[in-house]
C-alpha cells in the first residue's frame, strides 16, 4: 500500500506563501501550518469526522478551528484561485460541473419502461364523481 500522505516539498513551496502566518494565542506558540494543512487534506480525502483526525496532524479541535478561521477570512478562496491560475496559465482549458452535464434519456432508470399518461381532461370525462355535492336544496334537508 503506497498511499501518498501529505504534500511534497515542491508543492508546499508553492502553497506556503499563500497561507497566513499564525501567531500563538494565550502564550502558546503557533503550530506549523504545514502540519495543520495536511490534517485538513486528510479530512477532505477521507471524508471522516474531525474527531477521528490522527494525532500526527495535531489536536483535531485546533485543526478544525484553523480551518474555520481560514474559511471565514477567505484563505481557501484565494488559495484555490491562485492555484488555478498557477496550474492552468492559459484559458484554453475549461472545467465543467454536473449542473451542465445531462444524461442520455436511457439513463433515467425508470423501472418497467415509460408509462403513457392521458391528459387530465380526458380522465375527468371518464371518471365518476368522488364526492357528494355540498350544496343541497333546503327542501331536501
Backbone dihedral angles phi then psi of residue 118, each to the nearest 5 degrees: -90, 150
CA distances (Å), 110 to each of 5, 16, 101, 105, in order?
42, 50, 19, 10
Q: What's the average model confidence in pLDDT over 21-25? A: 72
- Give the tens place of pLDDT for each residue, 35-87: 999 999 999 989 999 999 999 998 999 999 999 999 999 999 888 888 877 76
Residue at 117 is within a domain = no
Q: What is the domain extent for residue 82?
A: 9-87
Backbone dihedral angles phi then psi of residue 34, each to the nearest 5 degrees: -65, -45
Residue at 26 is within a domain = yes
Residue at 32 is within a domain = yes
How many domains in the chain? 1
pLDDT, averaged across the chain: 75
Residue at 119 is within a domain = no
Q: Is residue 93's pLDDT more than 80?
A: no
Residue at 130 is within a domain = no
pLDDT at site 22: 75
Residue at 24 is within a domain = yes
Residue at 51 is within a domain = yes
pLDDT at site 2: 39
Amino acid at each position: 500500500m503506497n498511499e501518498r500522505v501529505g504534500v511534497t516539498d515542491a508543492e508546499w513551496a508553492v502553497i506556503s506563501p499563500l497561507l497566513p502566518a499564525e501567531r500563538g494565542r494565550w502564550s502558546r506558540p503557533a503550530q506549523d501550518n504545514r502540519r495543520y494543512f495536511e490534517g485538513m487534506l486528510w479530512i477532505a480525502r477521507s471524508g471522516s469526522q474531525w474527531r477521528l483526525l490522527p494525532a500526527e496532524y495535531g489536536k483535531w479541535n485546533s485543526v478544525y478551528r484553523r480551518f474555520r478561521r481560514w474559511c471565514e477570512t477567505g484563505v481557501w478562496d484565494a488559495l484555490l484561485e491562485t492555484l488555478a491560475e498557477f496550474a492552468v496559465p492559459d484559458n484554453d482549458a475549461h472545467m465543467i460541473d454536473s449542473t451542465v452535464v445531462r444524461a442520455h434519456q436511457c439513463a433515467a432508470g425508470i423501472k418497467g419502461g415509460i408509462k403513457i399518461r392521458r391528459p387530465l381532461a380526458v380522465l375527468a370525462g371518464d371518471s365518476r364523481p368522488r364526492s357528494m355535492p355540498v350544496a343541497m336544496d333546503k327542501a331536501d334537508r
